[in-house]
Chains A and B, each alone.
Chain A
Amino acid sequence: QKEVEQNSGPLSVPEGAIASLNCTYSDRGSQSFFWYRQYSGKSPELIMFIYSNGDKEDGRFTAQLNKASQYVSLLIRDSQPSDSATYLCAVDSGNTPLVFGKGTRLSVIA
């Protein structure tokens, strides 16, 4: 059974701070890793994906992957109240549907 674990939160950070969201996965063969953001009452939308070990930066967002530790994280720099949402980690292990974690709820306090 492929599993993706996330801390449910809520994670509260002050505006302007760095928010760090973490995710672990069970399938060592996993190849692709995705971060989705879901605002309350809305559908999940992709914000980052990463395939290789190391960091990938896109604006205020940085995805970090460590396959040896089976760990992927998302850093949000200069957090804004508009970043308040639930962040879902999703993992692919080949040509199969993504397996989603239950998500971490982030609250950015102005």
Chain B
Amino acid sequence: DAGVIQSPRHEVTEMGQEVTLRCKPISGHDYLFWYRQTMMRGLELLIYFNNNVPIDDSGMPEDRFSAKMPNASFSTLKIQPSEPRDSAVYFCASSFGGGTEAFFGQGTRLTVV
């Protein structure tokens, strides 16, 4: 298996623009997680899905953030409009079971200028 695949790897955008991050989880995994990592706050859980259904989005910082998982092999995290404070590395991870090892994608480094 190729592992968790995220795209793009790097994104630079201007404040106010819409940003869409994409993730393909490992085939057969039933949980998908979106994390954000910054130096100050570490690795923060934004939202997670179980069998394509959003379970907990309490970590989503604002209404500007939204996530979808239309099928078992694809998820998106959208920020609209983006702001400079959204600059961070966004990781997607998947697992088989909720409390088991999470496998991380390579991350998307987002810079909002």
Contacts and interface: CB of A to CB of B under 8 A. Distances in A.
B38 to A, nearest CB: 10
Interface residues of A, number: 23
B43 A96 contact: no
A100 B91 CA distance: 13
Given A43-B105, A43-B106, A95 B42 contact: no
A57 interface: no
A47 to B, nearest CB: 11
Contact residue range for chain B?
20 to 34
Contacts of A99: 45
Interface in A67-110: 88, 90, 92-103
B43 A92 contact: no
B99 A93 contact: yes
Given A44-B43, A103-B42, A32 B99 contact: yes
Given A43-B91, A43-B105, A45-B104, A94 B43 contact: no
B101 to A, nearest CB: 5
A61 interface: no
A97 B102 contact: yes
Interface of B: 31, 33, 41-43, 45, 48, 56, 91, 97-107
Interface of A: 31-32, 34, 42-46, 49, 88, 90, 92-103
14 contacts: A32-B99, A43-B105, A49-B101, A94-B99, A95-B97, A96-B98, A97-B45, A97-B98, A98-B99, A99-B45, A100-B42, A100-B43, A102-B41, A102-B42
